[in-house]
Structure formats: C-alpha cells, structure tokens
Amino acid sequence: MTEVTNGTSISFSFLVDSNNDTVLSASYSGYTFTGTEAKTEFDAIMGIFGLNEYFSSELGVYTDPTYFTNQGTSTQMFGTVSFPVTTYAANSTPESITYCGVSATLTAFQLEVGTPPGTSLPFIVLLHIAGTSQGQSLDITFQLVSITVRS
C-alpha cells in the first residue's frame, strides 16, 4: 500500500496468514514489525479496506439506497488477482445524509466493494468521499492497488 499526502509517498507492506488470521509482519518507512506490533499496524493502516469484517452494519451506511445507488458489478484486477467489485455512488451531489444523529453533506462519493478469491471478507477496494460533516471538511481517497492471496 502507498499513502500519498501532500505529494509525499509512504509505502506499507503486510504479510498475513489468512488461514489463522495472523499478521506475520508489517513494514513501512524502513521499519519492520512482528507479533502484536505487526497486528496493531495492520489494523490501523488496513482497517478501512476490511471495514465490513468488524463493522458489518457500517458498510450498510454507505450502501443505503436512500442516499446511494448500486451502479453494478464488474471484475477488476488488483495486481495479479481479479475479483468482482460492486460500485456505489451518491444518488446526487451534494447529497445530504443524516445517520445515527450525524449529519453530512457529500460533494463527491464513490465506493467499490469486492471479496477476494479464497476469502470471505468483503474488502473496500476504493472509497472516495468529500464534503462536510459536523462542521469539518474532508476529502479522502482509499484505494487498493494490489493484493496477493496465498493459500
């Protein structure tokens, strides 16, 4: 994974054993972590991509037909791995949303979700969201570029 903030890039990589949900190592900025530190780094950095595993009801917020339209499913490549991905977009922009007492106005929104082969975890492979919420402006993009699924 590469994070780009104000033109500065930081690359991250993780080695995960999906057979027993173990994060073996996490590396970024010249540092390598193992054990519980690797798991902590993985959860902090990659949590958005596996959001549905821990917060299954939260993904429903971003797919609620009151605010968002399912634009269909297509197969996409992530490195050498391909799998079906469903795309959601705001019904219109700006889109005003009220959910669980939180109000937001979205000026841009795109969500893409898919389940890599050999797994049961729906991954957020793209999330672009811009607008205001509770008086704070935001414009963020998370994008999965490559994934390796090992058996």
**Rounded Cα distance, 15 and 27, in Å:** 9
Q: Which residue has the higher pLDDT, 51 or 124?
A: 124
Q: What is the pLDDT of residues 36-52, one digit of tens each?
A: 888 777 776 665 555 44
Task: Enter the pTM of the model.
Answer: 0.68
CA–CA separation, 66 and 63 (whole Å): 9
3: nearest Cα among 37, 38, 29, 39: 29
- Lowest model confidence (mean pLDDT) among 17-21, 22-26, 99-103: 17-21
**CA–CA gap between residue 33 and residue 20 (Å, rounded):** 18
20 or 41: which carries more pLDDT confidence? 41
Q: How far, in Å, CA of 102 to CA of 94, rounded?
A: 16
Q: What is the pLDDT of residue 85?
A: 96
Task: Tell me the per-residue pLDDT of 37-93, one tens digit each, with 9 for 90 and over.
Answer: 887 777 766 655 554 444 445 567 778 899 999 999 999 999 899 999 999 999 999
Q: How many helices (H) and strands (E) does the chain have?
A: 3, 10
Share of residues in the chain with pLDDT > 90 (%) = 22
75 neighbors 106 (Cβ within 8 angstroms): no
